[in-house]
Amino acid sequence: MTHQPMKTSEMSVQDRSLAMAEWFPIFFCLIALYIPTWVDLARTIWATEAQAHGPIILGVALWLFWQKRLVIHELPTRPASKSGWTLFVIGLLLYVIGRSQDIQFFEVSSQIVVVSSLLLILRGWAALRAAWFPIFFLFFMIPLPGTFVDALTLPMKMAVSYVAENVLYGLGYPISR
């Protein structure tokens, strides 16, 4: 017999309280771990026009996780997997290296690795599959190095410039590039 997940409306208040009691320490520790990162980002890169979407991405990702909380909680508890613990250690190392060396790319991307590893440790691969979209969405919060962004956007800038020049020249404006 396969395990059929219960609908959110069918869960009792006690089941919801148990879900919150189990996951609250994890959320608290994650928030305590990453508050310095978010504060630094808010003071630096999130204050720029290019990365101002970061807090919005974080807020939406948290909301998406909140929407999946009962589905994930209802999954059967699995024994902690070696891959989960390995990923957890890698995530914490990324965080420590990123924080100590001021490499925001490592520090911010460690959130994805740590959250994924905790889901693997506590509920297994099914939880990771259930939360795939909120985890994927967090990738958009990672600040990319300026040289990478420049290399990625230069062809688009050139194309827009070419089209604008030809359209304006075709309309009789004296323009050159």
Q: How many residues does the chain have?
A: 177
d(CA 56, CA 174): 42
**Band of the pLDDT at 98, cuts 50, 70, 90?**
very high
Q: How many CB atoms lie within 10 A of CB 5?
A: 14
pTM of the full structure? 0.74
**Band of the pLDDT at 62, cuts 50, 70, 90?**
very high
Question: What's the DSSP call for residue 172?
Answer: T
Checking phi first, is residue 124 left (phi over 0); if not, alpha (psi -120 to 50) or beta?
left
Checking phi first, is residue 102 left (phi over 0); if not, alpha (psi -120 to 50) or beta?
left
d(CA 124, CA 113): 14
Q: What stretches of the chain show up as alpha helix (H) in DSSP?
A: 13-43, 54-74, 82-101, 104-123, 125-130, 132-138, 146-170
**Band of the pLDDT at 12, cuts 50, 70, 90?**
low
Handedness of CA 74, 139, 111, 82 (dihedral sign): positive
**Band of the pLDDT at 35, cuts 50, 70, 90?**
very high
Mean per-residue pLDDT of the chain: 86
